[in-house]
Each structure stands twice: as structure tokens, then as C-alpha cells.
């Protein structure tokens, strides 16, 4: 303890008025410990109860539980570690009469405008406010002299207490910590009713937010001691008024495992709160009307009384503003990729629930940004089709039904291309069957080809979505798959009450590592999951005869086929965007699996597989070209791998397919080399136009042509050099985008082409929608809005994830 502590006395001389307290204290500072040069004393009933650090404004207790001074050693220790002390200019603090007073307002007065009368309560009969026995289980929390909350003495959870006490009674009946505290209740303000905190600092720092300031008035174990005598004067009173949390020291933050919330001292900003509210509503797909729910309004007011809740109209307007801001940022990002092309994917969305009266088209852009990261962003959401006689929708939307001239793939995609300035920057389009087979899509393709907006004569435009294709192939075996499902149902019924208990079944499912399909999952996905469960149960409990041997062989064969389809869709439509070089291998696995199972002895299974093979072969004939291009640009495989695979796929006719791949690669590369030559030629023409004398204008034309031919020859040799270079060793952690970024100086033109090729999608659906029987859905609450608002919400939700 400090040697001067023994001279400290916190009580004022008798007869000293409270108004003169500060003057009296200052007059006696010479006889007191020098530590008081660093603190401002806080008085309660004429006695120093606390000391406020003049630098960080933390309040330190000056009274022990026995009511006597607890010395100043802890004050000295705080000064040695006070971080704010080093940053404060001391000269600014000496211009007041009382040393080191940072604020002329007494913090105690700020908390209790009705003075300290309530502190002297000692029994329920003294004040009706605490007659209820429920206060034996809670500590009252005061804000500005009024009870605003109640803290449970057992679990320390805070509840509101300004509107009745019935919820407090309910909490005492369900409080999980109530039976563990072992508290002997003697009244709401008895020492034994104090909540136990894990540090001394937390005992005094339980915040309540009011107008951006943390104000505390809590009655805990050190607040009052209730005596059985008639004089019920408290022996110790701790009433704290603290600045906001960002003024607290780091020592405070680390002193308790239950840290107080981060509260800003800055002025409350309604606009910022609106922005955060809008982001929450948009990101989680909440209905706009949530802001008009009374429960939501009360919740917001409980957080900050100054906050004025927005209306649903405000939310709609703010959502539109946020959409416009995010759209401008994304447009700028895409415009920066001036020499690059963008791939598009188009899917159909519908309102969640009953038979839809409207369908939407969602257009997504796929590209690799300047940091060589694969991006997938929704850029357009419009009406694909709607019932022209949908009177209810017209009333709800307060707008006329969308005209045919404003809906359909042609209008929606064409509008997006124009809006995002993609006329000369398109690379490919992947679409679901409804869009792909629509006459408007074909019309748009013809128009873009005429404008020379598509590479290699539009060969990469309007490609079938792989999810659609694989689902259609699976449907070829629908009758056989449902027969297998019947076998599974018999298995579940036969073993529901056998030695194979439900717990054992759950354990087998857990060990599978396979997610259970949702209720709206596709029919074949559910069958596949059940097949996997049966097979895992067989491995986990080999002694159990779960199925007859013949049925088991059928289950094993069908499960192998569906596993290949499931894995392919999971990879291609996964939450993490794959680069285009993975598609070929995933589809090749499906082809290989079908080929292996076609030789099964089971006649019905073999017949089903042959139907699937025919459908897959048809797709492969139409898609092998675009699937091969990304493989050629994978330095681990190149054209050699394509030759190897296509020989197995097409046998003796493989040579013509390999030649077609070589030709399409070279043609595409020439187009990427073309714009440079065109630019040089244009530049030379412009130079000749400004010549005053035509005689000298042609003197170096042959030299320019020679340089242009030489430059083109060098660029064309870039592709040959790449194909002739050795293959990169295969590794599991190989990053193809990183490889092309590193080698972009060696292959400048080919690296630009690789960026556009590797960004091509093969699916228009995300993983969850790919396995759903409903496909992509929009919440019904949003579907009742007009199309412009829906577009703003859907796009913004995608952009701010």
C-alpha cells in the first residue's frame, strides 16, 4: 500500500456544504496522496465514493464492502498502465478551477435526477415498486432515475422492467442457472442477492445505452447493506456514470470474459441506421413490410429510442438507391476489363409456392477480374412470362401486366447487353431448356452474329445447361428407379422394429458424410440418398441380412450410376465457382460409369443404362467442342489429353473430332490476335489521312505491312509454342488461374483468351437450386412487388453477399 494511504480520509469535515465539497477537497489535497492529482473525486452524500481518471475517465471504487476506504494502491497501479495518459496533452486540463475536471456535469446527477432517495429503500413496504417477491431474484437497472430493466441474479440476463413483471416471474421458472447459484435470498438489495461477475471491473461496468452514452445505476452486492434495524441507511453506495466504451482502457476490455458491447460515442446517425437496416432486409430476403411489424418497432426502440423506424415505402426507396450504387460500382469493374469478354448464364425463377402466374429470367455474368479471381454476378432480372389476365397481380403491383414486347429472353437479354455495354464483349451463353429452346433466344443469336458480337460464329452461344442435360438423362430410367425405391421402402418397413435400431441408422447416415436432401429435392436425389444409406448400413452391420442378394446387386449398381450424376452436378453447380477446365472430366466420369454398368447381368438395369447412354451420346456429340477448349488451355493436359479421350469416345472416327478441336482453338486464338492488327491498320490510315502531300504517304507503307505481318506471325507462334511446351505435372493443389497469371508475360495473348475461356459456366443454377424440384425460387413476399423493385432486391442481394 502507498505510504501516504494512512493519511487519506474520504469523509468531508462536518458542516461542509455539498456545494463546497470540491473546494474543500482541493484545499486538502496537499495533505493527501499525490495520486489524487490524477483523479477527480466523485461524492455521494458528502463522502468520496469513486475516483474518475482524468485521462481515460474510468471510475475506480474508493470504498470496500465494509464501507471504509480501500486505499489508493489500485489508483497508483491504474496510472502506470493507463494508455490514454500518454496521448493526452496535460496543459489542456489545467484551465479549470477544480483540477482535472473533464466535465462540469455531475455524472451522478445525470443518472438520478430524482437524487438518491431510492437508494435508501430497505424493505418492500417502503416503496411499492419493490413489493413483488420477484425482485428477490433480480437486480433493478436504472437509467436516468427510472427503472428500465432487471438483471437476473443467477444467469445475469437482462430483461425490460418498465411494463409489468409477469415476464420476470416466467424467467425465474425457466432460468437454467437458478438452481446452481445457491443464493439465499433476503431481499432485492441484500448483499447475498448480488450477481457474481468474473472480475471486479465487470461488477461495476454493466452498461445501459442512452443517447450514445453508457450510464449505469445498478444495485448489486456493494450497493446496499440492509440492516434489520429501523434505520435502513445503506453503508455502501456505488453509482457509476461512464463515458462510452471506446474511452475505456484496454485493461478493462481484457479484464472480463463478458465484455460490454461496443458502443460509439459519435452522434446517432439515422441515415446510417437506415442503410444497415436495408442491407439486413435485402441480404436475408425479409419482406419489406417487416419494418411495419409492431414487434420490430418495439425492438428497434429498445435498442435506441432515437431511431425512427422506416416504412415499407422507405425500404423500397432505399433498396433502389443501394441497387443503383452497387450497380455503378460493378459496371465500373466490368468496364475496366475492356479487352476481355463476358460469359452469360440464363435461368428461370418462379415465386415460391403454388402454380406460378409469372416466371422470371435471371441473367448472370461470369468473368475473371483484374486480380485473376472468378466472379459470378447477377446483372439482370426480368419477366420471362406472365399470364395476361392476371388481375390480382396487376392490382398488387399497381401496374399494367408486362407486355410481350417487354418480356421473354430476347427483350430481357438484349436490354441487359445494351445496359451493361456488352455489345462487343460477349463470349458465351449457357441457358436452361426453356430459354434455350425459345424462339426469342435464336432471334437474338442471329442478330448478334450479324453485328459480329460473338466469337467463332456464335459456336459458344446458347449452350445447354449441364444440370438440365443430366436431369433429363436420369429421367430416362425413371420407371426402373422407382422400382428400386419400392425395394427401399420394403427394407425400411421390414427393419423398422428389428435389431437395426433407429440410433444405428442415424449413426450410419452420420458416417456417410452426405447431406440429407431437403423436402423439395428432386425425386432421383432422394432415391440416391436412400440407396447410399442402405449400402452404408450393409458395411456398418455386415451380420445383418438387410436385403436379398439379388436386390442388393441392383441397389449397388443403381447407386453407382446416380452417384456419378450427383457428384457431377455438385461440382459443376457448387457454391464455389469452378473454372471451365473441370467440366470435361466430370462428364467423362458419368460416361465411364454408364459404360461400365451397361454390361450388368440384370436385364432391366442394362436396358435402363442403354437409354441413358443414347441420351448422353447425343449431348456429347453437340458439346465436345466447347468442353474441349478449356482442357487445351489447361497446361497439365493440352491437346494431347483430348486426343487420348476422344479416341476412346469415338474410336476410328476420333481423328476428325480432334481436328475440329484444333481448328476451333486456332480460329478463336486468331480472333484474339485480330484486334491488335486492326488497330495498327486503323492507325496507319489515320496517319495517311493527315498527310498534306499524297506523294510521300506511301513511301513506308510496305514497311508497315512487313511489321504487321511479322507481329502477327509472332503472336500466332505463341499458340504453337504453348502447345509444344511440356506438360505441367498434375498436383491436387494446382491453381490454373495462378499459373496463367504467372505466365501472362510469356503468353500475353493466350492468357487473355484463357481468362475468358476458363470463366465459361456450364450451369445456370446454383447447387441448392440444381437439386431442388422447384428450381430457383423467389420469396412470395418479394414476388408481389413490381418487377423493377424485384430486380433491385435480387441483384443487390447477390452483390452484397
Q: Over 90: is that where the pLDDT of 228 sits?
A: no
Specify the higher pLDDT residue, 706 or 198: 706
Q: Strand, helix or coil at 733? A: coil
C-alpha cell at 691: 498527310
Cα Rg, the chain, nearest whole Å: 38
Phi-psi region of 365 (alpha: psi -120 to 50; beta: other; left: phi over 0): beta
Q: Strand, helix or coil at 306? A: coil
Say if CB 161 and CB 143 are below 8 A apart: no
Residues 6+ apart with CB under 8 A from 737: 368, 372, 373, 374, 579, 758
Please give the backbone phi and psi of residue 381, each rounded to the nearest 5 degrees, phi first: -140, 110
Please give the average per-residue pLDDT across 56-82, as a whole number.
Answer: 74
> How far is residue 474's CA from residue 468's CA, in Å, rounded to a whole number?
10
Secondary structure letter of residue 221 according to DSSP: T
Report the 10 Å Cβ neighbour count for 656: 10
- End-to-end CA distance of the chain: give it in Å, rounded: 56
Mean confidence (pLDDT) of the chain: 74
Please give the average per-residue pLDDT across 237-246, as a whole number.
Answer: 34
pLDDT of 662 reads 94
pTM over 0.75: no
Nearest Cα to Cα of residue 792 among 157, 99, 316, 143: 316
* Range of lowest pLDDT (163-172, 288-297, 445-454): 163-172
Report the 10 Å Cβ neighbour count for 584: 22
> How far is residue 319's CA from residue 794's CA, in Å, rounded to a whole number?
10
CA distances from 321 to 220, 277, 324 (A): 49, 13, 5
* Range of lowest pLDDT (98-102, 472-476, 688-692, 703-707): 98-102
Q: Strand, helix or coil at 44? A: strand
Q: Over 90: is that where the pLDDT of 711 sits?
A: no
- Exposure class string for 78-101: b at 16+ Cβ within 10 A, else e: bbeebebbeeeeeeeeeeeeebbe
> How far is residue 780's CA from residue 793's CA, in Å, rounded to a whole number?
13
Q: How confident is the model at residue 397 (pLDDT cuts 50, 70, 90)?
A: low
> How far is residue 744's CA from residue 738's CA, in Å, rounded to a whole number?
10
Q: Over 70: is that where the pLDDT of 797 sits?
A: yes
Task: Please list the helix, strand and coil fractions of the chain in percent, rounded to the nearest 5, in that order.
Answer: 55, 10, 35
Q: Over 90: is that where the pLDDT of 418 sits?
A: yes
Secondary structure letter of residue 514 according to DSSP: -
* Range of lowest pLDDT (328-337, 346-355, 535-544): 535-544
pLDDT of 789 reads 92
> How far is residue 587's CA from residue 763's CA, in Å, rounded to a whole number?
13
> How far is residue 777's CA from residue 520's CA, in Å, rounded to a whole number?
11
The partner residues of 41 in beta bridges, in order of sequence, read 51
pLDDT of 256 reads 38
Specify the higher pLDDT residue, 260 or 433: 433
Please give the average per-residue pLDDT across 374-380, as a whole number.
Answer: 95
Secondary structure letter of residue 209 according to DSSP: E
Say if CB 535 and CB 559 are below 8 A apart: yes
Segment 114-154, tens digit of pLDDT: 333 333 333 333 344 556 778 888 888 766 566 778 888 88
pLDDT of 743 reads 95
> How far is residue 614's CA from residue 476's CA, in Å, rounded to a whole number?
10
C-alpha cell at 450: 450479324
C-alpha cell at 232: 435502513
pLDDT of 614 reads 93
* Range of lowest pLDDT (242-256, 369-383, 597-611): 242-256
Report the 10 Å Cβ neighbour count for 329: 11
Q: Which helix (H) or strand (E) holds 426?
A: strand 426-431
> How far is residue 361's CA from residue 25's CA, in Å, rounded to a whole number?
77
Segment 11-49, tens digit of pLDDT: 444 343 444 444 444 444 444 678 888 888 877 767 777
C-alpha cell at 659: 481436328
Say if CB 607 and CB 628 are below 8 A apart: no
Secondary structure letter of residue 308 according to DSSP: -
Say if CB 2 and CB 33 are below 8 A apart: yes
CA angle 481, 483, 488 (to 5 degrees): 95
Nearest Cα to Cα of residue 211 among 159, 274, 144: 144
pLDDT of 616 reads 94
Amino acid at each position: 500500500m502507498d505510504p501516504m494511504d494512512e493519511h487519506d480520509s474520504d469523509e468531508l469535515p462536518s458542516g461542509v456544504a455539498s456545494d463546497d465539497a470540491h473546494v474543500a477537497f482541493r484545499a486538502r489535497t496537499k495533505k493527501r496522496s499525490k495520486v489524487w492529482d490524477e483523479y477527480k473525486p466523485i461524492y455521494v452524500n458528502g463522502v468520496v465514493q469513486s475516483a474518475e481518471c482524468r485521462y481515460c475517465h474510468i471510475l475506480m471504487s474508493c470504498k470496500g464492502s465494509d464501507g471504509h476506504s480501500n486505499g489508493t494502491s489500485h489508483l497508483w497501479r491504474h496510472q502506470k498502465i493507463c494508455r490514454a495518459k500518454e496521448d493526452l496533452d496535460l496543459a489542456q486540463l489545467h484551465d479549470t478551477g477544480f483540477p482535472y475536471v473533464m466535465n462540469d456535469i455531475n455524472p451522478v446527477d445525470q443518472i438520478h435526477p430524482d437524487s438518491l432517495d431510492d437508494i435508501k429503500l430497505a424493505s418492500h413496504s417502503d416503496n411499492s415498486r419493490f413489493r413483488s417477491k420477484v425482485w428477490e431474484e433480480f437486480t433493478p437497472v436504472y437509467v436516468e432515475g427510472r427503472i428500465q430493466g432487471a438483471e437476473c441474479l443467477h444467469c445475469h440476463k437482462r430483461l425490460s422492467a418498465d411494463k409489468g413483471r409477469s415476464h420476470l416471474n416466467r424467467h425465474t421458472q425457466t432460468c437454467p442457472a437458478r438452481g446452481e447459484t445457491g443464493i439465499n435470498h433476503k431481499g432485492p438489495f441484500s448483499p447475498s442477492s448480488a450477481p457474481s461477475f468474473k472480475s471486479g471491473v465487470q461488477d461495476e461496468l454493466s452498461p445501459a445505452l442512452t443517447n450514445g452514452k453508457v450510464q449505469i445505476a445498478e444495485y448489486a452486492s456493494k450497493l446496499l447493506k440492509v440492516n434489520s434495524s429501523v434505520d435502513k441507511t445503506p453503508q455502501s453506495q456505488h453509482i457509476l456514470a461512464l463515458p462510452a466504451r471506446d474511452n475505456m482502457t484496454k485493461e478493462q476490455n481484457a479484464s472480463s470474459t463478458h465484455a460490454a458491447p461496443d458502443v460509439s460515442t459519435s452522434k446517432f446517425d439515422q441515415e446510417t441506421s437506415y442503410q444497415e437496416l436495408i442491407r439486413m432486409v435485402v441480404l436475408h430476403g425479409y419482406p419489406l413490410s417487416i419494418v411495419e411489424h409492431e414487434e420490430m418497432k418495439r425492438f428497434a426502440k429498445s435498442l435506441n429510442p432515437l431511431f425512427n423506424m422506416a416504412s415499407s415505402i422507405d425500404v423500397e426507396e432505399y433498396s433502389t438507391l443501394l441497387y443503383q450504387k452497387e450497380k455503378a460500382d460493378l459496371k465500373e469493374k466490368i468496364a475496366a476489363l475492356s479487352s476481355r469478354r463476358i460469359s452469360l448464364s440464363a435461368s428461370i425463377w418462379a415465386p415460391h409456392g403454388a402454380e406460378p402466374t409469372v416466371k422470371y429470367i435471371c441473367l448472370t455474368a461470369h468473368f475473371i477480374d483484374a486480380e485473376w479471381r472468378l466472379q459470378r454476378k447477377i446483372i439482370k432480372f426480368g419477366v420471362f412470362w406472365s399470364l395476361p389476365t392476371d388481375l390480382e397481380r396487376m392490382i398488387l403491383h399497381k401496374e399494367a401486366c408486362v407486355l410481350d414486347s417487354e418480356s421473354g429472353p430476347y427483350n430481357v437479354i438484349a436490354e441487359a447487353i445494351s445496359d451493361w455495354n456488352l455489345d462487343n464483349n460477349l463470349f458465351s451463353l449457357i441457358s436452361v431448356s426453356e430459354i434455350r429452346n425459345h424462339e426469342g433466344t435464336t432471334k437474338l443469336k442471329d442478330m448478334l452474329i450479324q453485328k459480329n458480337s460473338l466469337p467463332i460464329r456464335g459456336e459458344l452461344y446458347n449452350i445447354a445447361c449441364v444440370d438440365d442435360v443430366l436431369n433429363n438423362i436420369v429421367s430416362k430410367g425413371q420407371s426402373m428407379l422407382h422400382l428400386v425405391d419400392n425395394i427401399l421402402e420394403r427394407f425400411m418397413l421390414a427393419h423398422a422394429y428389428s435389431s437395426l435400431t433407429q440410433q444405428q441408422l442415424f449413426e450410419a447416415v452420420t458416417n456417410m458424410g452426405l447431406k440429407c436432401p431437403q423436402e423439395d429435392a428432386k425425386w432421383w436425389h432422394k432415391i440416391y440418398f436412400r440407396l447410399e444409406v442402405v449400402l452404408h448400413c450393409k458395411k456398418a452391420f455386415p451380420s445383418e441380412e438387410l436385403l436379398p442378394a439379388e436386390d442388393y446387386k441392383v441397389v449397388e449398381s443403381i447407386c453407382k450410376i446416380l452417384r456419378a450424376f450427383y457428384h457431377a452436378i455438385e461440382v459443376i453447380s457448387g457454391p464455389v465457382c469452378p473454372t471451365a477446365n473441370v467440366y470435361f472430366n466430370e462428364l467423362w466420369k458419368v460416361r465411364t460409369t454408364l459404360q461400365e454398368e451397361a454390361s450388368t447381368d440384370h436385364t432391366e438395369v442394362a436396358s435402363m443404362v442403354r437409354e441413358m447412354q443414347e441420351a448422353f451420346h447425343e449431348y456429347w456429340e453437340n458439346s465436345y467442342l466447347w468442353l474441349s477448349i478449356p482442357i487445351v488451355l489447361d497446361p497439365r493436359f493440352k491437346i494431347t489429353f483430348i486426343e487420348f479421350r476422344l479416341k476412346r469416345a469415338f474410336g476410328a472416327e476420333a481423328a476428325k473430332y480432334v481436328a475440329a478441336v484444333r481448328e476451333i482453338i486456332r480460329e478463336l486464338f486468331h480472333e484474339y490476335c485480330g484486334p491488335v492488327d486492326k488497330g495498327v491498320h486503323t492507325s496507319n490510315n489515320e496517319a495517311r489521312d493527315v498527310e498534306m502531300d499524297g506523294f510521300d504517304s506511301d513511301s513506308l507503307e510496305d514497311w508497315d505491312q512487313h511489321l504487321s505481318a511479322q507481329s502477327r506471325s509472332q503472336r500466332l507462334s505463341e499458340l504453337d509454342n504453348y502447345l509444344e511446351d511440356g506438360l505441367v505435372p498434375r498436383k491436387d493443389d494446382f491453381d490454373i488461374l495462378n499459373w496463367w497469371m504467372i505466365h501472362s508475360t510469356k503468353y500475353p495473348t493466350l492468357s487473355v483468351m484463357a481468362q475468358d475461356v476458363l470463366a465459361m459456366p456450364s450451369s445456370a443454377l446454383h447447387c441448392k437450386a440444381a437439386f431442388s424440384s422447384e428450381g430457383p425460387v423467389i420469396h412470395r413476399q418479394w414476388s408481389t412487388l413490381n418487377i423493377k423493385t424485384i430486380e433491385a432486391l435480387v441483384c443487390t442481394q447477390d452483390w452484397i453477399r
